[in-house]
Amino acid sequence: MRFSSQVFTFSTTRSIEIIDFTLQLGQWVESQSIQNGILQIASQHTTVGLVINEQCEELQKDMIDFLTRLVPPQKPDYRHDRIAGDGRPNTHSHLLSLLIPSQQTLVIKEGNLQLGQWQSLFAIELDGPRPERKIHLTLIGL
């Protein structure tokens, strides 16, 4: 059994942003020479989620619109916004993170990520822009 880990670092430029990092994950997995196993992916931030969904620009716009309507950013009665330690009015980001997982597990078979034809792995920024976000990768296999 082999074990490998890596931290994938990226920045965001919008308040809610969807970042596809399927290609980078696949390249990293291939470079590790593990043929069969699992890849555990974990966000190191409360307000960055991880989802598997379809790569489609219009769908991503719909997702952002949906999240914004679901939990509006500027609502005057968010208690956390009045006491946030860093001064960011980000209650909406924390509420959205209740609905979006912070971890995903993918199967590795014959050295490749096992995703469906339309599936990609996305980081969902809920509290941007941010200069640095981190996703921790753990690969276990043979």
Residue 141 · residue 88 · CB < 8 Å:
no
The reported pLDDT for the residue numbered 74 is 82
Nearest residue to 92 via CA among 59, 116, 127:
127
- pLDDT beyond 80 at 90: yes
State what percent of residues in the chain have pLDDT above 70: 100
What mean pLDDT comes out for the span 88-100? 95
- Residues 6 or more apart from 42 whose CB is under 8 A from it? 50, 102, 103, 135, 136, 138
In the chain the domains, ranked by start, together with CATH numbers, are 2-73+88-141 (2.60.120.460)
Residue 130 · residue 17 · CB < 8 Å:
no
pLDDT digits (tens, 9 = 90+) for 37-85: 999 999 999 999 999 999 999 999 999 999 999 999 888 789 998 888 7
